[in-house]
Structure 1
């Protein structure tokens, strides 16, 4: 008999956040990632008749953590897991983790490996699983976006570039669950950087259709990101010629600076 599959549902929050909800048909447990808004989680739990069992937190920013206190009031025994480097800035953590740790979600008989990915914040982490229903998946918060990457609020360009290089080494089939619906804006920048990149043009058309139908553009696949995301393409000769540097780090730094100033 085949085990019941994991379902990952995006809950829209604020202007462009997603709170990822993990459920299985044979369980009333609910796991959420980066719950900045408690209300949408409470509504989802009521509608699906679930009990919140675990919260995974990638970093301390308010739009990823502000719902924790209210959710804790409703479910006092909830396991709340987050980065040890940012523990003083995240309320109510019951477990702190660092690079290489294994997070056990016993409610789903599931494990995640913790990856420390400094750049957006200094203590930012991601949660990686090498095979869920046959595919690897990554909850990466605000480190890697579809066609983009997070702003450097605390870390350096060197740190973010190294973090993205680490993600580049994951399997191409890895599903990327980031926390913002920034894809169309990011693709506009990607097209400005590489106007002849046919993968960018095709993906922009696809994602525009999804958004026109009020559907998420996520998750993305790492293989797709390698084809469309300029921040993962700093090693390519065309980009190095564009930025007059053979240094991947220098190209990344210039790209990040250009993206910060870009107006679509």
Structure 2
């Protein structure tokens, strides 16, 4: 029974490690899909049927259609465009004019001064960039620490099969629980960074129109599943030595009383 508990804890830890590494290495934490928004803008741009021979002037574009939006998927390290959604973007990427993926900055750089934007608003943009940079650093830093501690926990759990079973299993459980804390902090700060980024000022630059579909993708769900497996492995490895020890003590006391 002890060997089965150790094997189950190790399997849960290895599964959590694989999911966490998949979340770290993939770029599908958050996705945007503006195809519905583009269709509505094209319908607003289309002129009504003319009643006379002279074509009427095209109607003005709504303000929400002034900014070009593309289908993207982003992770901790890169933001990439989806190919096959916009033919104009596909041609720009193939010709080398536009890059399909751009690196996410983890160092502070002065943003470009926008024309016809007051100095106070430019200062607010710089402060928002600084706060967002801190949230990104916390997310990546704690997730990296979570992966390192989880790897150490798996190694200690594997050592528990050969040396000091109860002690090493207990230490592995504590490392798994520490990984869960780091992973929880990282996921919460990532959600905070997404919300902060979408609510930045000015709204016409950073916010998304209501008809743009956006949300979390499968990479962050891998991280959440990793968190669940990690907590389960930590609870199992931490609690089982005490449970088995109490059972042994009960059996010994029952044997002594029978004698």
Same fold at TM > 0.5: no
TM-score under structure 1 length normalisation: 0.26
Larger Rg: 2
Between structures 1 and 2, the one with greater helix share: 2
Question: Relative contact order, CA 8 A, sep 6+: which one is greater?
Answer: 2
